[in-house]
């Protein structure tokens, strides 16, 4: 029986075996962290307000209301980790202290079984929240779940689970070397972080006794990590839920902006073909104006571009090509596909609202006969909260090149942008491009969002890093290491939302590798792992059903005994492909 879920026009329908409640205990790994953002070389503080809030893990919904009083948060705990898990020679014996949090308020030990036991009720249950890119974990992640871990915490309460949250190395207070120099960042990689998590799991198994079943949960980059924990450490991790996880690393990611265009056309969330056409006309006007000094001056004044400090007094920031690329990137981020929230009520906060403005359905206070460019200006000024648009590329590169930790890092303060940018340069790419001939609605001519521009920033920020030797092959190396769209794991669920641009590189029903062992779930009209957020009455029905289906699949997997991580031989792969074709 297929375990894949497909989202129809009116939501999601599930095709799965009936699942009885499984009274057992296991360990689940989930993500309390923040969202991946496009254009990783852009600093968080220069982003539109809604995207900025999402990146920092803050609530952006005006309907959420005041949060209930949070229970007291447990104190931080620390585990000693090897600096280099991959050094088996014993030459490098350096260690560092990694921060994590633990809450055993709902934990039910019951009877801890032996490693050989396959009986579900013999295995204790716990949740481990794996941190990722962006701001630090907050202590209440193991009590309330926060913005990105609420589903995990609710499942923990219902199942008597231990909850643990661990920070990713080089983010938050978990700083192995005390600086972000290139020499230090050599120890920042997904492989090292996976080994950290595995080491913590083994330590907690020893501390709490018995044979725990681990199921890894994560959203965005931690979703990638969740799936890879199951792939690389199947003897420790029983199953995984990898929400909105772009597991296919890709140097040039054209699919992101193409997916934004598709989201702007999706009628279920208020989009339309007319909206996409209006957006394209607006960017065509921007393109024409960028081609002349007079046009660039008008754009800077009309959109409210910040002044820059140069030796030339009163220079127009858009006279410099890198600043034009920053400017166009800023305009693309005005359209909230990744952060779309259909229940929001503020102006320009979702696809329905921005499309109503772009098509003229909502006059938005503009004079009759306003142009598409006028409407884009209106949305942009709103998105940036009345602040000027910072397009100073040189200043941004200088900030990313700073090797000092941000003030207050000991308490987890900061955005830790240099750390994530390092990982894009050395592991994943994810450089969003928008060029002629693509389905991107934001094309300008000459093309500014090019692969060459994106990768050049790696060399600018990290000094002697070779773009040709390091950056160009980074994504391919990661896909060899983890499998990309064909990971070959078992018991990993991949939920994705239809308006999430990161869907372009996630494992979805169109690319389903093994429906039985690696099922996918498409959540109609949902944005970036929307189902992991705190539940609200105003949530989309598809999101509500996704939460139920995720819990049901986890319960079903918890009833299964151990199995090998990789079962998909070439023959099995061919069989699955034939089945998918027949369906």
What CA–CA distances, in Å, run from 319 to 297, 307, 460? 8, 12, 20
Tokens 């769209």 locate to 485
Query: Quick check: 251 and 475 in contact, CB under 8 A?
Result: yes
> Does the annotation mark 39 as catalytic?
no
CA–CA separation, 429 vs 537, rounded Å? 38
CA–CA separation, 342 vs 348, rounded Å? 11
- Smallest CA-to-CA distance from 415 within 129, 31, 33, 61 is with 33
> Does the annotation mark 339 as catalytic?
no
Residue 356 per-residue DSSP state: H
Query: Quick check: 562 and 490 in contact, CB under 8 A?
Result: no
Helix (H) / strand (E) containing 95: strand 95-103
> Does the annotation mark 500 as catalytic?
yes
Catalytic residue among 220, 243, 353, 506: 220
213: how many CB neighbours lie within 10 A of its CB? Answer: 24
What CA–CA distances, in Å, run from 447 to 251, 322, 450, 493? 17, 12, 6, 38
Length of the chain: 583
170: left (phi over 0), alpha (psi -120 to 50) or beta: left
Phi, psi for residue 252 in degrees, rounded to 5: -105, 110
- Smallest CA-to-CA distance from 192 within 96, 90, 55, 56 is with 96
Please give the angle made by the CA atoms of 42, 45 and 46, to the nearest 5 degrees: 55
Query: Quick check: 537 and 544 in contact, CB under 8 A?
Result: no
Phi, psi for residue 21 in degrees, rounded to 5: -65, 130
Catalytic residue among 3, 238, 393, 528: 528
The three-state secondary structure class of 49 is helix
CB-count exposure of residue 314 (10 Å: 0-12, 13-18, 19+):
exposed
259: how many CB neighbours lie within 10 A of its CB? Answer: 23
Write out 275-320 in H/E/C secondary structure: HHHHHHHHHHHHHHHHCCHHHHHHHHHHHCECCCCCCCCCCCHHHC
Phi, psi for residue 494 in degrees, rounded to 5: -120, 90
Query: What does the CA dihedral 205, 210, 211, 215 come to, rounded to 10 degrees?
Result: -60
CA–CA separation, 553 vs 17, rounded Å? 9
CA–CA separation, 546 vs 256, rounded Å? 23
578: how many CB neighbours lie within 10 A of its CB? Answer: 10
Catalytic residue among 500, 533, 542, 555: 500
Q: Which residues are catalytic?
A: 220, 500, 528
């Amino acid at each position: 029986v297929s375990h894949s879920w497909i989202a129809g026009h009116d939501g999601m329908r599930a095709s799965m075996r009936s699942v009885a409640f499984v009274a057992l205990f296991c360990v689940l790994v989930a993500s309390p962290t923040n969202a991946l953002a496009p254009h990783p070389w852009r600093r968080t503080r220069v982003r539109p307000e809604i995207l900025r809030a999402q990146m920092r893990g803050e609530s952006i919904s005006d309907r959420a209301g005041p949060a209930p009083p949070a229970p007291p948060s447990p104190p931080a705990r620390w585990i000693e980790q090897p600096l280099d898990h991959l050094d088996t020679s014993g030459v490098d014996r350096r260690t560092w202290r990694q921060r994590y949090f633990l809450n055993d308020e709902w934990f039910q030990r019951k009877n801890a079984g032996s490693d050989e036991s396959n009986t579900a009720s013999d295995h204790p249950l716990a949740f481990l929240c794996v941190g990722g890119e962006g701001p630090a974990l907050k202590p209440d992640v193991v009590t309330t779940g926060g913005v990105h871990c609420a589903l995990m915490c609710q499942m923990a309460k219902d199942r008597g689970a231990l909850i643990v949250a661990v920070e990713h190395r080089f983010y938050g207070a978990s700083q192995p070397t005390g600086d972000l120099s290139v020499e230090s960042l050599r120890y920042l990689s997904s492989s090292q972080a996976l080994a950290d998590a595995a080491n913590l799991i083994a330590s907690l198994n020893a501390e709490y006794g018995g044979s725990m079943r681990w199921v890894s949960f994560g959203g965005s980059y931690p979703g990638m990590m969740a799936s890879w924990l199951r792939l690389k450490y199947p003897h420790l991790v029983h199953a995984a839920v990898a929400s909105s996880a772009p597991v296919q690393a890709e140097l040039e990611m054209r699919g992101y902006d193409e997916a934004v265009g598709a989201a702007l056309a999706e009628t279920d969330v208020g989009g339309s073909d007319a909206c996409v056409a209006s957006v394209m006309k607006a960017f065509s006007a921007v393109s024409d104006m960028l081609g002349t000094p007079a046009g660039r001056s008008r754009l800077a004044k009309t959109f409210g571009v910040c002044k820059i400090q140069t030796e030339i007094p009163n220079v127009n920031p858009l006279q410099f090509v890198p600043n034009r690329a920053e400017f166009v990137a800023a305009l693309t981020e005005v359209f909230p596909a990744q952060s779309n929230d259909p229940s929001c009520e503020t102006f320009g906060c979702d696809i329905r609202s921005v499309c109503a403005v772009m098509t003229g359905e909502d006059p938005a206070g503009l004079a009759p006969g306003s142009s598409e460019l006028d409407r884009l200006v209106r949305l942009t000024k709103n998105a940036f909260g009345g602040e000027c648009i910072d397009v100073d590329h040189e200043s941004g590169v200088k900030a990313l090149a700073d090797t000092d930790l941000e003030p207050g890092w000991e308490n987890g303060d900061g955005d830790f942008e240099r750390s994530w940018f390092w990982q894009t340069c050395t592991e994943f790419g994810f450089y969003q491009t928008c060029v002629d001939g693509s389905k991107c609605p934001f094309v300008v001519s000459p093309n500014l969002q090019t692969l060459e521009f994106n990768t050049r920033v790696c060399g600018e920020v990290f000094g002697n890093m070779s773009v040709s030797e390091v950056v160009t092959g980074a994504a391919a190396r990661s896909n060899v290491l983890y499998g990309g769209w064909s990971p070959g794991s078992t018991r990993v669920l991949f939920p994705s939302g239809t308006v999430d641009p990161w869907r372009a590189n996630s494992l979805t029903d169109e690319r389903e590798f093994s429906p039985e062992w690696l099922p996918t779930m498409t959540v109609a009209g949902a944005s970036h792992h929307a189902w992991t957020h705190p539940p609200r009455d105003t949530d989309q029905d598809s999101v509500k059903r996704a939460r139920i289906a995720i819990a049901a699949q986890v319960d079903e997997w918890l009833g299964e005994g151990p199995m090998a991580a990789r079962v998909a031989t070439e023959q099995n792969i061919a069989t699955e492909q034939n089945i998918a074709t027949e369906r």
